[in-house]
Amino acid sequence: MCTAATYQTKDFYFGRTLDYEFSYGNQVVITPRNYAFPFRHEKNVPTQYAIIGMACVMDKVPLYYDAINEKGLCIAGLNFVGNVYYPPATGKAGEVAQFEWIPYLLGTCATVQEVKVLLNTITIVDTPFRADLPTAQLHWMIADASSCITVESMKDGLHIYDNPVGVLTNNPSFEQQLFNLNNYLHLSVKSPQNTFSSQLNLTPYSRGMGALGLPGDLSSQSRFVRAVFVKLNSRSGDSEAESVSQFFHILGSVDQQRGCCEVAPEQYEITIYTSCCNASKGIYYYTTYDNHQISGVDMHQENLDGTQLIAYAPVKGEQIYMQN
């Protein structure tokens, strides 16, 4: 499935992996301030902030997987299959379809605190984008430079959790994921000491044994533990190159390789793309499964007062630098 994370050095970074067995045709898409987003239920949407993120554009509408706005607010939607409930639309004020959730929040909010306030007045409804595109079952990580939350819409209501680790994967629910970290409180980046028994002369025989027991499989709960451990213990310089490089290394710890997760006969889930957004500067970096070169799009190099979507197709093919 997917993993999202935050990272802070001199600037604030946000990104995710998108893990699936096929792509809908992703593009880096900038939605300028004056683009008339065709919201299905809410017609009087306040002044819009510009947005950049990875999306599939259908019928001239960007269906965002993850995005940031010009104010530094970030959102990623990740699969949460089997737990989600969106009520049907009733015509009441404040109804927002799931597929327009990201542009609605990013277009109207500048901070996580503003999102929290807005969530008291709106309802995520199950209106599909098209009849042939069922409503995706998602939960969301929403972050800015000072705070991070997870939002889950379930049968018993809308749950908003403070996210102290800045990581999200898929099932189970976020509060269960957090509690599960207690099972790994013994992990350490340091070489372990013998606490097994004073009667035995046990010594480490390899570097890295402090993290013995860190999950390495591709399940969502294991990826959550691994990503949290790697992110919270990660160290880098604070330059742009060092920060971006380290962020891709963090998410690289949960990368999925073709052949390791079979979802149907001869169909394998892979990490289709990995994103890293400098939310402080409005730059969207990414790599793809077939191109590990880091590519980037700077939203501030475009006319953010425009009315038309601006889209960049991902750079295709592995970029290999030969030195002789």
pLDDT tens, 235-279? 999 999 999 999 999 999 999 999 999 899 999 999 999 999 999
Per the domain annotation, does 141 fall within a domain? Answer: yes
Within a domain: 66:
yes
Q: Rounded to an integer, what is the distance from CA 135 to the centroid of its chain? A: 18
Residue 138 belongs to domain with CATH number: 3.60.60.10
Q: What is the pLDDT of residues 134-171, one digit of tens each?
A: 899 999 999 999 999 999 999 999 999 999 999 999 99
Position 200 in a domain: no
* Domain-located, residue 321: no
In a domain, 86, yes or no: yes
Q: Provide long-range contacts, Cβ within 8 A and 24+ apart, for 31-34.
A: 31/62, 31/103, 31/107, 31/309, 32/302, 32/303, 32/304, 32/305, 32/306, 32/307, 32/308, 32/309, 32/310, 33/304, 33/305, 33/306, 34/305, 34/306, 34/307
Extended strands (E) in the chain: 2-8, 12-20, 27-31, 51-58, 61-69, 74-79, 95-97, 123-125, 138-143, 148-154, 157-162, 167-168, 262-264, 267-268, 270-278, 283-288, 291-298, 310-312
- What is the total count of domains within the chain? 1
46 confidence band (pLDDT: 50, 70, 90): low
Q: Once rounded to an integer, what is the mean pLDDT over residues 39-56?
A: 87
Beta strands 138-143 and 74-79, pairing class? antiparallel
Judge whether 2 counts as a catalytic residue: yes
Write down the catalytic residue from 2, 109, 148, 277.
2
Q: Shortest CA distance to 286 belongs to which of 87, 60, 83, 17?
A: 17
**So what's the pLDDT on residue 44?**
67
pLDDT at 70: 97
In this prediction, residue 117 has a pLDDT band, given cuts at 50, 70 and 90, of very high
- Short-list 293, 298, 295, 273, CA closest to 285: 295
Residue 58 lies in a domain: yes
Helix, strand or coil for residue 276? strand
Boundaries of domain holding 21: 2-171+238-312
CB 279 within 8 A of CB 145: yes
Check: pTM over 0.85? Answer yes or no.
yes
Which residue matches tokens 């599960």? 180
